[in-house]
Every structure is written in structure tokens, then in C-alpha cells.
Amino acid sequence: MLACSKNYLLHDKYLSLSFSSESCLLSLVDCAKSCIYMKFPNFSFSLFVSSVLSFLFGSREEVPMAERKRVVVVGGGVGGSLVAKNLESHADVTLIDPKEYYEVPYAQMRCIVEPSMAERSVLKHSEYLKTAHIVQSAAESVSGSEVVTESGERVPFDFLVITTGTTYSGPSTKAERVKLYEADKEKIVAADHVLVIGGGPVGVELVGEIVVDFPDKKVTLVHSGKRLLEFLGTKVSDKTLKWLQSKKNVEVILNDRIALEGLTGPEYVTKNGTHIKADAHFVCIGKRVGSSWLQSSDLSQLIDEEGRLKVDANMRLEGQSNIFAVGDIANTKV
């Protein structure tokens, strides 16, 4: 498969375990060294925070329930799921997440062309968390030593770990998530020409997946930047572009964009005036940082100009001894 070959190494590492309930999130610990080397900081920072809190709670393998501190983890993505799993034998852990499942992010583009993979890469929180409490709701604010949820619950904490990453508006159940992947595949199967908007890792990988599994489909990739995968070096960008352009049915348009408002098709016009007729489109651009729920909370003053939480060298919020942030929501520089 294309471009994100490191992602596929991760896919193999995860999915070879078939995500049994015993091994699922524990496998993330086994992957940590590889993920740090591959510059996936959510893993390394999550493990770091887990280690700090475990140290604070004592070195015993399992702490009696009556002695456990209350740890609330907000966000059930990579960082939050890992922290919750690693700490549930040390603390009284509550995971707050609007969806009922954890999903391996590096498998998402593959699931679009092979929805059956989602049966293994999407796992209900209740399947891997054995003692942690699960509150299926979005968080609404932090007030004092409580997290207030949209469903009206007030969840008290001794320690808080915020891992809400980027904004999420997808399905809340595993069944709905799998159906969405099935619908995406049907959209590709029915199309002669697929338009992909965004040339970052998600857009590039999706084009690669479509080209490999549906080599007869015409695919156009439109990217506003000067090169693909701009967060990586120019050699990677050049090699990726060369690979894509070697495919007979792929067109890459750089330094151009398509307005997302009212995007319906099948006729699309770029800012520079290029007309594209496509049967289906996928928008693969970056999401906003998921900190809007904190804007009216006690922590609002710790949100920087990019919407990220200000953290110190120990991943604690500045001036806070018991509140941590992990992942895209933290203003770490990696």
C-alpha cells in the first residue's frame, strides 16, 4: 500500500492481536517504543502521564478500591484509552467519551475500502476496561474538582486527564461506525471518479487505498499546499507525489483548493478555476482542536491562541498540580 507504510506496520502490530478484550489496550504498551520512534506522541505522552500517576499512587500492582484516588479521563481516543487502561488497577478511573468505542486511528482509511476490518479496529470501551467506569457523554465543562457532562452528570476527581484531541462529530456506537464505513465503500464502488480534498496523511493514504483496491477508478487529489505531507520532509513529499503520479488514473492538483461550503457535486470548481466532475468526494482536511468545551470553564485561561492547553514539562496544566493534558489538545512541541 502507499505512502503511510509506517501506519501499516502499526496496523499489523495491532490487528494481529485481533483485539481480544484481554490484549487490546495492553497491546498499546507493547507498541509504545515503536510509536515514539515513529513520532506518534500521543502514545509516549500517555505512557508518561500514566507512569507519573502510577508513581503517585504507589508501586503496588493493584491498589485496594478503598484507597484509590479518583482519576477522570476525558476523551476515549488513543491517549485517553491508554491512560484509562493503564491506571484502572491503580485508581478509581472514570472515562468520559461521547462514543462507546475506541478506534485505531491508523486503520481508518483502510476500513473505508475494507469495512470488515472495523470489526477488529473498533472496540467498545467496555470490552477492554475491566474496572473503570464509563460515562458515554461529551464533557461540558470543568468546575472546581468536577467534570460536568452534557448529559448532566457531575463527575468528581482527584486527578483529571484531558485527552479530547480534535473535534468529533461521528457515530456514537460501534454498529453505526461500521455502517458508515460500509456506506463509504459503496460510494467508492458506485463511482467512476473520486475526488479527495486534502493532501495531508489522511488524504494521501485514502488515495493510496482507493488506487490499490480499485485501480480502475479515476482519483483526483486537490491540496492547498505546495507539496503533499507538508509536516514531513521534502523527500517524503517528492516520493509520495512520484508514486501517485505513476498511477494512470490519479491526478494531483497542488496550490489550489475547493470551497467546502455547500459541497455537493458532481461539478466542482477549484479556487484557480479548474473544473472537476466527480461522482463522489471525501474531505480530508485537519480538524479543530477539541477545547471549545473548556472555554467557559475554570481552565479557560490556560487555553492558548491555537486552542491548546498550556502544559509544563510533566504534561500538567500550568499552575495545576492534579490536571494533565495529553495529545493534540496539549501545546507540546514535538
Distance between CA atoms of residues 206 and 250, nearest Å: 12
Q: What is the mean pLDDT of the chain?
A: 85
Lookup: cell for 292 = 471549545
Lookup: cell for 93 = 478511573
User: Can you tell me the mean pLDDT for 137-143?
Assistant: 95
Q: Which CATH superfamily is domain 181-283 in?
A: FAD/NAD(P)-binding domain (3.50.50.60)
Q: What is the pLDDT of residue 31?
A: 38
How far from 290 is each of 7, 133, 261, 330, CA to CA, in Å? Answer: 24, 22, 21, 10
pLDDT at 51 over 70: no
Spell out the domain ranges in the chain.
Answer: 5-168+288-329, 181-283
Distance between CA atoms of residues 134 and 132, nearest Å: 6
| Inter-residue contact 117 to 109 (CB < 8 Å) | no
Q: What is the pLDDT of residue 64?
A: 72
Would strands 70-74 and 159-162 be described as parallel, antiparallel, or unpaired? Answer: parallel
Q: Is domain 5-168+288-329 classified as CATH 3.50.50.60? A: yes
**DSSP assignment, residue 164?**
-
- Model pLDDT for residues 12-24, shown as the tens digit of each residue: 333 333 333 333 3
| Inter-residue contact 182 to 122 (CB < 8 Å) | no
User: Can you tell me the mean pLDDT for 235-261?
Assistant: 96
The reply to whether 181-283 shares the fold of 5-168+288-329 is yes
Q: What is the pLDDT of residue 49?
A: 64
Q: What is the pLDDT of residue 6?
A: 32
Residue type, 138: A
pLDDT band for position 142 (cuts 50, 70, 90): very high
Cα dihedral value 267, 271, 273, 277, nearest 10 = -20
Cβ burial 160-170 (10 Å sphere, 16+ → b, else e): bbbbbbeebee
* % the chain with pLDDT above 70: 81
Distance between CA atoms of residues 193 and 183, nearest Å: 16
Does the predicted TM-score (pTM) go above 0.85? no
User: Can you tell me the mean pLDDT for 127-143?
Assistant: 96
| Inter-residue contact 161 to 326 (CB < 8 Å) | yes
Lookup: cell for 90 = 491503580
In sequence order, which ranges of the chain are alpha helices (DSSP H)? 5-15, 26-37, 41-57, 78-87, 108-113, 118-121, 125-128, 174-190, 201-213, 234-245
